[in-house]
Each structure stands twice: as C-alpha cells, then as structure tokens.
Amino acid sequence: MEPTKHYEQPNAAGISQPCPGSVCDLLLVERVLDGDAEALARLRTECDAYLRLTLLARGASETEADDLLADLWGDCVPGGDAGQNPLTRYNGRILARTWLAHAATNRFLDYKRRQTRQRQFLTGQLKQAPPTSEATGTRTSSLTEDTVVILLRESVDHAFRNCPADTQLMLRLFHGHQITQRQLARMWHWHPSKICRALEEGREQLESEIRKKIKETDPWLELSWEDVVELCGNC
C-alpha cells in the first residue's frame, strides 16, 4: 500500500518540511475550492469510507449513508451553492475527515427530523381521514394507504402470530364477537376472574409485541399507544 503523501511547507528558514495532517488537509481543501478535480478525488478517496462508517454508527442505513454522502460530495464541487458546500467553512484546525464527519452527521440528523415531522403530519392527516365507504368499498382518502398504516397492519399481524392460540381465540371471541366473560368462563371451565386476568394479560402481550415491531421496523416513528389504537381503527 502506497504511504500517504504529505504536502510540504517552508519553515522559518525557508526549508521545506512535512506539514501536520490538518494543515495538509487545509492545503488540499484549498485546491478543491480552486476547482482542482484531482484534489477533490483524493479528498473523497481519503475520507469517504470513514464518513460512511460514521453515518452507519449513528444509525443510518446503508442506503441512507450512500445517498447522504453522494449529496455531500456533490456539494463539495465548486461552482454550486457555497452555503451548501461544507468545505467553504473548513479552517484546518481539525482533520478534514473529522470536519466532514460533523457535516455528514448534521445532515443525517436533519434528514431524520424532517422524516419524523413528515410522519407526524401524515399521522395527523390519517386521524382526520373520513371513514371507509361501505357502499362503494373504497376509501375516501388516499392517505389511508400510507406507509404508516401499512406498518401498523404488519405490526398487528406480527403480534397476533406471536400470541398463543388459546389467548388469541379468547381475545377474538371477546372483542370481535362480543362473547361475555361469563360465557368464556363456561367454555374454558375457568372462574370469570381468571378469564378477566387472561384477557388483560393477552391485551398487554399484544401491545408489547406491536410496540416492539414498530420500533424494530422504524425506530424514528413516534406514536403513542392511543395513536396506534386510533389509527388501527381507521385501517
């Protein structure tokens, strides 16, 4: 592997000597800002893998990391919007890769904040969506097929698949078919108080599984249990 080459700068006596890493980075960045395509290619080669690992460690998916870095390096090309170019504010006090890692992390956090606000907006729209038209069999709002609703459906299906068969049957009879606890007690040959406890434990298990599945699928989605119940009622 070829050793990293360092730019040289003259000392007080006018003799060239290897310069510190951050100073070398500053010289390289200045060349990039002057339009040197070769310097930009070198900077990207030296920093890209480090930036990608940083984003993945912050929680970005591989696709998100690739997209964010593509945008970041695109903004580093001179001639674009200077306000979007992270290199225009680089002063050489730290390594260029550290500076760019801060910039990439901030972009990732901004992206997630926008994503969260968008989901919260869609959630609010879903709450206000008109009910299903039973006569036509169609929904009056296209937002009812939003990814949030799809996520909830998948989470509920997952929860029921992981629920014991007898508990699932009991919950369906009680909530879906209005079978009373006293009737369930006769069917199971249990005391009604035991049926009551079993129903409560079953509901708690379903809630736990649904919350877990939502968090695993999309850790950035913020929904209270009341939101989940209300949105499921509109599915």
Which residues, at least 6 apart from 89, have a Cβ–Cβ distance to it below 8 Å? none
Asked if the model's pLDDT at residue 41 lies above 90, the reply is yes
Phi-psi region of 14 (alpha: psi -120 to 50; beta: other; left: phi over 0): left
Instruction: Break the chain into its structural domains and give their ranges.
Output: 8-114, 140-234
Reading the block at residue 67, the tokens are 């997209």
User: CATH code for 140-234?
Assistant: 1.10.10
Domain 8-114 architecture: Orthogonal Bundle (1.10)
Q: How confident is the model at residue 28 (pLDDT cuts 50, 70, 90)?
A: very high
Distance, in Å, from the CA atom of 54 to the CA atom of 51, rounded to the nearest integer, reads: 5
Model confidence band, residue 203 (pLDDT cutoffs 50, 70, 90): confident
Mean pLDDT, rounded, for 202-208: 86
Q: Is the pTM above the cut of 0.75? A: no
Q: How confident is the model at residue 152 (pLDDT cuts 50, 70, 90)?
A: confident
Question: In this structure, are residues 226 and 211 in contact, taking their beta carbons and an 8 Å threshold?
Answer: no
Residue 40: which residues within 8 A CB-CB, separation 6 or more? 32, 73, 76, 77
